[in-house]
A and B are shown apart, each in its own frame.
Chain A
Amino acid sequence: MDALIQQFFNLAIMERALPLVLTGLKQTVLLCLLVIPLGLAGGLAVALLSLSHRRAVRWIAVVGIDFFRAVPPLVLLIFVYSGLPFAGFRPSPVTAVAIAFFLNTSSYYGEIYRAGIESVGAGQWDAARSTGLRGWQTLAYVVLPQAVRNVLPDLVSNTVEVVKLTSIASVVALPELLYSADMARSVTFNSSPIVLAALIYLAMLWPVVRLVSRLERRIAT
């Protein structure tokens, strides 16, 4: 028991690791501010493509979405970071993460938006257009607000997944939360810094996970 506490909950080591871990946290937050908006925007574009009137466009969008949902994000990231340099493109860790995350999260967000837009009745489109709104105005002011509300739990829960996913940026040496904690671990030969990082992830995400569960239940009934 004592060994367990020494190894995982060593307060002295946690205290020493805290400054490093906090700089990692800052990177994680910045990374989220980069990849979440990118994914949300890309997802919307993908969703609109997958609802296109042209069969060929729809088909390409669906194949693209399923392709990037089938490749593990870490494989995508390592491919971009250590595969593309062989073709003469040498992305920095942040660029590699941005590209890989954009491809992966756009596909997931895209599927959620699509379900949301499909859940808004065709009558809404017709009514809005007949009042003189243009196509994009109908989308922005009438359809999307309802669509987003209908799939809000899924959007939030996917965002939780994206925040968790930023931890794989540690594999390409981007000094985010997990990377900094793991540095501290390898210096101290003690797992407490990773427990500290885990506690920070929990503090950030547990309330959101609870919220999602409540949102889902409210909509289910």
Chain B
Amino acid sequence: MDGWSRFVDVFFKPELIERYSPAILKGVVVTVEVAAAVVVTGLALGLVLAILRSFRVLPLSALIVVFADMFRALPPLVLVLLTFFGLPNVGINLPSFVVLWLVLALVLAAFAEEIFWAGILSIPKGQWEAARSTGLGFLATLTYVVLPQALRLTVPPITNRTVAITKNTALGTVIGVGEILNQATAATSFAGNATPLMMGAIAYVILFIPVVALGRFLETRFAWRRA
């Protein structure tokens, strides 16, 4: 067998592609479900925390900073294992899907809070003062004047960060969430061939390249902190 057909036989074996496509597709559905849940809840929680922080109530802000720092400093896999193996022993049984969603949503919320907060801080004080002096209340100023400008600035870093954290759905394989990587490794050890792993990798590329490219486009569109 020459090199090329050997390569095809190991990584792109046609009959294996056909046999394992349904499994990989099932994995894609699970990955997309977890990813969507993480993005929606993580970004929403991050925004709420950044808004709460803008009230500048000291104990509350301190709590938010501690939360954001901890979830930015800890590896997500540590949190996943801690939650998955720890909680059942204190009587809380969560399905692995929920553990993965919960951990990644909190991690995303921590990063998003920091980015949204940096965006809010970047709005000059004069914007606040001008809005308040027209008779807008604190919340109205925040909602109609500050946030629209602040969020615009945060679009590129938020996109990149969200992609980076959503990719961590692959960690679910360690606790048995049936996402792409899980399906692919199971099929690879069953078939004794690397084709399913290659299919899994390609599935990830197809899912994420559009968002990575979008992040690149946004970065050039609204340049953020140009030094």
Binding site for B on A (CB under 8 A): 3-4, 7-8, 62, 66-67, 69-76, 78-79, 82-84, 86-87, 115, 119, 150-151, 160-161, 164-168, 170-171, 178, 182, 185, 189-191, 194-195, 197-198, 201-202, 205-206, 208-210, 213, 216-217, 219-220
In the A-B complex, the 10 residue pairs with the smallest Cβ-Cβ separation, listed nearest first, are A191-B86, A70-B208, A72-B170, A167-B75, A150-B227, A164-B75, A205-B73, A83-B194, A72-B167, A86-B194
Question: Could you pull out 30 A-B pairs where Cβ atoms are within 8 angstroms?
Answer: A3-B89, A3-B90, A3-B91, A8-B82, A69-B208, A69-B212, A70-B167, A71-B201, A71-B204, A71-B205, A72-B169, A74-B173, A75-B201, A75-B204, A78-B181, A82-B185, A83-B197, A86-B192, A86-B194, A115-B219, A161-B164, A164-B74, A182-B81, A189-B89, A197-B78, A198-B79, A202-B73, A206-B69, A206-B70, A217-B121
Tell whether A201 pairs with B74 under 8 Å between CB atoms, given A74-B170, A86-B194, A194-B82.
yes
Residues of A within 8 A of B78 (CB): 167, 178, 194, 197-198, 201
Tell whether A74 pairs with B225 under 8 Å between CB atoms, given A195-B82, A206-B73.
no
- Considering the chains assembled together, what is the distance between the CA atoms of A71 and B200 in angstroms? 10
Q: How large is the interface on B (under 10, 10 to 19, 20 to 34, 35 or more residues)?
A: 35 or more
- Considering the chains assembled together, what is the distance between the CA atoms of A121 and B150 in angstroms? 27
Instruction: Assess whether B77 is interfacial by the CB under 8 Å rule.
Output: yes
- Chain B, 202-225, CB within 8 A of any chain A CB: 204-205, 207-209, 211-213, 216, 219, 225
Count A/B pairs, Cβ under 8 Å: 156
Q: Counting chain B CB atoms within 10 Å of each CB, which of A72, A79, A119, A217 scores highest?
A: A72
Tell whether A82 pairs with B197 under 8 Å between CB atoms, given A75-B170, A87-B7, A195-B82.
yes
Residues of A within 8 A of B169 (CB): 72
- Considering the chains assembled together, what is the distance between the CA atoms of A213 and B188 in angstroms? 43
Instruction: Assess whether B226 is interfacial by the CB under 8 Å rule.
Output: yes
B180 CB → nearest A CB, Å: 8
Instruction: Assess whether B168 is interfacial by the CB under 8 Å rule.
Output: yes
- A contact face: mostly helix, strand, loop, or mixed: helix
- Considering the chains assembled together, what is the distance between the CA atoms of A8 and B78 in angstroms? 13
- Considering the chains assembled together, what is the distance between the CA atoms of A7 and B91 in angstroms? 11
- B contact face: mostly helix, strand, loop, or mixed: helix
- Considering the chains assembled together, what is the distance between the CA atoms of A87 and B9 in angstroms? 9
Residues of B within 8 A of A3 (CB): 89-91
- Considering the chains assembled together, what is the distance between the CA atoms of A168 and B172 in angstroms? 12
- The 8 A CB mask of B168-183 against A (1 = contact, 0 = none) is 1111011000001100
- Chain B, 84-124, CB within 8 A of any chain A CB: 85-86, 89-91, 114, 118, 121-122
Residue of B nearest to A207 (CB): B73
Residues of B within 8 A of A4 (CB): 90
A95 CB → nearest B CB, Å: 17
Residues of B within 8 A of A165 (CB): 75
B225 CB → nearest A CB, Å: 6
Residues of B within 8 A of A76 (CB): 201
Partner of A219, one of B185, B193, B207, B227: B227
Tell whether A167 pairs with B209 under 8 Å between CB atoms, given A7-B90, A75-B200, A79-B197.
no
Tell whether A75 pairs with B181 under 8 Å between CB atoms, given A83-B197, A201-B75.
yes
Residue of A nearest to B219 (CB): A115
Residue of B nearest to A146 (CB): B227
Contact B170 A220 (CB under 8 A): no
- Considering the chains assembled together, what is the distance between the CA atoms of A156 and B69 in angstroms? 15
B149 CB → nearest A CB, Å: 14
Instruction: Assess whether B62 is interfacial by the CB under 8 Å rule.
Output: no
